[in-house]
Structure 1
Amino acid sequence: MQAGSAHEACQTVEQLATVWDHLLATREELEQALLSQEQRDRLIEEHVDYARGLALRIFRDLGEPSTIDLDDLIAYGLRGLTEAAQRFDPTRGAAFNTFSYYRIRGAVYDGLRETGWLNRRMARARADAGMDEFLANQADRQAEVTAGKQTTAQVAEDLANTLDDLATIFLTAMDGSAGHPELPDENAPRADEKVEMEQTTTSLRRAMQTLDERERRLLELHYFQGLSLSDAGAQVGASRSWASRLHSKAINSLTQALRPTLLADTS
């Protein structure tokens, strides 16, 4: 081996040794900075009240619903706290309160989502919005009818039809939230009621297939995918006002297809 090559090889070895020593020192510093399991357990113990407080705040923000047990929310929050303590890295510079805040809240909402409660709440909100939209459209249509031209029997018939249409909207919105486990409570449907609900759902889905493709797509986007009526209308190429009319027309058609089921449910 030439003298120059030997010298370069020695320099390379010295550089590698320096890098290795640096890596060992860095590893030692990191190991000292990382928390032991005992320290992580202490973090959990010291922040139990913090997690409870966040769970209580969410409970109050939801309006303290009777179908949700506060203890369940606290349990979800403590689960998030434990996960935060296990993942916390003090070398990143964030305070544990800040680091754990989003994980605790996220765990509470994940717990609600697992039970299906959030999904059903959103479905009810969509049902309310759909009913409001439908009634507003009905009011516009009624305004086009000259006052006094309808008989009492016709008014009663229109009211009955409107109630059927509102029932259809509710059923469609609830079906849009299907596929999620129910939150057990004293108001949960009995076994026979569940059978009726399943039969109604089957009838609804069959009736949906009888709709015009554009109408069906609008309802699917609005009630099953959670789009606003304006956004759903845009997806099918309808303006805001036309989407409202198309929605009412689709609900009318769906009600007609579902009428035997609706009549059976009220008998």
Structure 2
Amino acid sequence: MTAPSARKHAYSAGASCCAQQALIEQYAPLVSKIAWHLLARLPANVQIEDLMQAGMMGLLEAQKNFDDSKGASFETFAGIRIRGAMLDDVRKGDWVPRSVHRGSRRISEAIRKVEAKTGSEAKDCEIAAELDISISEYYAMLSASRGSRLLSLEELLQDSEAPGFAAESELPASPLSQLENERFEQALAAAIDELPEREKLVLSLYYDEGLNLKEIGQVLSVSESRVCQLHSQCAARLRARLSDWQEANQGSVKKRSRRRPQ
């Protein structure tokens, strides 16, 4: 490398480093806000420093992949990438016991059965009865599943990508995939719209308004632990109501994949 080109390379590297530092300083409050928001719903062994570090990596990835021609603001795009990076880091830790996953599935299946029998929203006492446990045991199951259900619900709500959010593979989605995503969005929106009012409000306050559990409890005049239970029950209810749609959709995808081009 010649002297002029070496100087040019060093200048470019220095400028890039300064740009990254400026980006981190500008959006550090956003990373911190998302980290503390998630921490309130995660087990005690998850450290805020780990979330912050993962979030900063997500911020830098957002800078690399952002396309302002897609219509989304950088802050909105970065927020999704930051949150996703934090959740990916938590998932790698594999901190959710299998028993918790089994409990979550049992709750969803119980809700599905009760609502199929009654044709109306499954109440806490009805779900507990279907599980053949006491109401206090049911609430304990909900509290134990709150962390795993947080991840599942966030994945559920973020499956459809907002305008400007490129797919991780950077490959264009096929027309079939786009159609299936649109149908899933419609099914999800309908399932959320049919939630009990209190559960729907918890979703709105947590995901749309960015309130933490304590703040939501103050709005609803209930304890923070009760908000945890409502959030977990809400996620289980959505999973139960979308299971039929998911099974039917997977079946149609398999049928279409068997067709050979003429």
TM-score bracket, normalised by the shorter chain, equals 0.3 to 0.5
Larger radius of gyration: 1
User: What TM-score does the superposition give when structure 1 sets the normalisation length?
Assistant: 0.44
Structure possessing the higher relative contact order (Cα contacts under 8 Å, 6 or more residues apart): 2
